[in-house]
Amino acid sequence: MSIISLCEPKYLELKNRLIQIQDLEAAASLLNWDQTTYMPTGGTYARGRQIATLKEFAHQKRTEPIIGKLLEDLRAYEKSLPYDSTEASLIRVTRRDYERAVRVPPEFMAKFSQHQAVSYEAWVKAKSLEDFSIVEPYLEKTLELSRELASFFPYKHIADPLIDFIDEGMTVSILRPLFNQLRQKLRPIVEAITSAPPIDDSCLYQHFSKEEQLKFGYAVIQRIGFDFQRGRQDETPHPFTSSFSIGDVRITTRVYEDNFSEALFSTIHEVGHALYEQGIGLELEGTPLAEGSSSGIHESQSRLWENIVGRSRGFWECFYPQLQGIFLKQLSPVSVSEFYRAINKVARSPIRTDADEVTYNLHVMIRFDLELAMLEGKLDVSDLPEAWNERYKKDLGIFPANDSEGVMQDVHWYGEMIGGMFQGYTLGNLIAAQVYQAAVKYNPEITVAIERGNFTLLHTWLKQNIHQHGRKYTANELIHRVTGKPLSIEPFINYIQDKYSNIYHLKVPLSA
């Protein structure tokens, strides 16, 4: 009897057990989505308990000894299969997850999940009142729990296990020099652009009705390829994407009637995540493979659609006439060239999510450094607002108006953990440029198609080369498969230099 016939029943048992775990995780995610969209605030503590219960059950099932035994029994089966087969990939990825999960006690996961739920609500209140003291004790507890989580793993740096959770293979020893190299390249570019005459972007800060903004955004993302039969869009204070299955992927946005850019570009950003989730191969449904490869790969998809496509001249050659027709009073005097320059204005902004492509990564690196300092015990939570403001003054030459604009602007530390929360954004920018370069090299017609409002060529290429694989490959494996090269900062730097030299009419091309 062959290895395959002997092991097939055990593989099916493993898969069925994994589906049960994924169902529990999906139910917890659905409760979390509801909490951040429609749940009344009175349900906060009960919702925290409910999510914690599901997370605890899922963790218990994930760490059952039978999972470890099945994985051990399937080693020979795994080796007999091609590396990229669904079966071998599922066993390989499950083994990584299992070996990580058994290190963390279920009661700790429940405790941390419940704390995250109540911390999130404290953050919402503190941010609205511009009062950091409200959320400070919750953040101190989050730091304590983040350190405890890291302590369950061997590490060279305390942040390494936390980073590895969402960007497998990345460590502080890799990211610090990478970020230093990127910072050195970006600073002279930022200086050159901000020394040039500023772009007038006042056309974006008129009154744009909420209803019409949402309607336009809906049309844009439907044209890009978001399947509303398998997804929906809602509003929330901090935009995010949730996937409960390949057939149920939900995005959120926020709308400001005095700022056109916010809703549209956050919507396109989130739909980049959603296209990834909707594009995962159906054969992976209900298993740990039905997720993105890493935070960096996921962010590469959102940043690619938001910036490389959504802020391109070709994109607006297609959509601007439609936008002008909707907001005739506001935009009839504004040419497509003026609008294109406005949405790509470079400025030293205090808000990460509002930042342009050139300065954005400086925001990420500030957060990365601060969370490392907190984990290392070099920065107390009580001193975080002051440290935040000092770094913004030093790195970007600006000072936040208040803590809601400063240290409380992002939800990550308040609703999740401290450590590994931000590096994926910069990795995503780097990967996006490298992936798009590979796509256009494969099919140069992609750029022409975008000008004509045809996004199918790019969407299909991304689905075939990235989306359908889910978690089959690590980020490094996937980057090399797609581009033929390891991760590099050069495609991103070249993209920034070329684009913004033209936008700012610089006689001397930007150099790093």
Q: Which residues contact 303 (CB under 8 A, 6 or more apart)?
A: 269, 272, 425, 428, 429, 432
**List of the chain residues with pLDDT < 50:** 1
Q: Which residues contact 129 (CB under 8 A, 6 or more apart)?
A: none
Q: Count of alpha carbons within 13 Å of 266, Cβ hemisphere only? A: 26
pLDDT the model gives residue 407 = 97
For CA atoms 498, 503, 504, 507, the dihedral sign is positive
Rounded CA separation 378/39 (Å): 38
pLDDT the model gives residue 279 = 98
- Please check whether residue 214 is in contact with residue 268, taking contact to mean a CB–CB distance below 8 angstroms: no
pLDDT the model gives residue 1 = 47
The one catalytic residue in 56, 78, 121, 270 is 270
pLDDT the model gives residue 232 = 97
pLDDT the model gives residue 509 = 55
Q: What is the pLDDT of residues 11-53, one digit of tens each?
A: 999 999 999 999 999 999 999 999 999 999 899 889 989 998 9
Q: How many Cβ atoms from other residues are within 10 Å of residue 17's Cβ?
A: 17
Active site residue 13: no
Supply the CATH classification number for the domain 172-503. 1.10.1370.30
pTM value? Answer: 0.90
Listed residue (274, 222, 219, 283) closest to 248, CA to CA: 274
Give domain limits for the chain.
3-130, 172-503
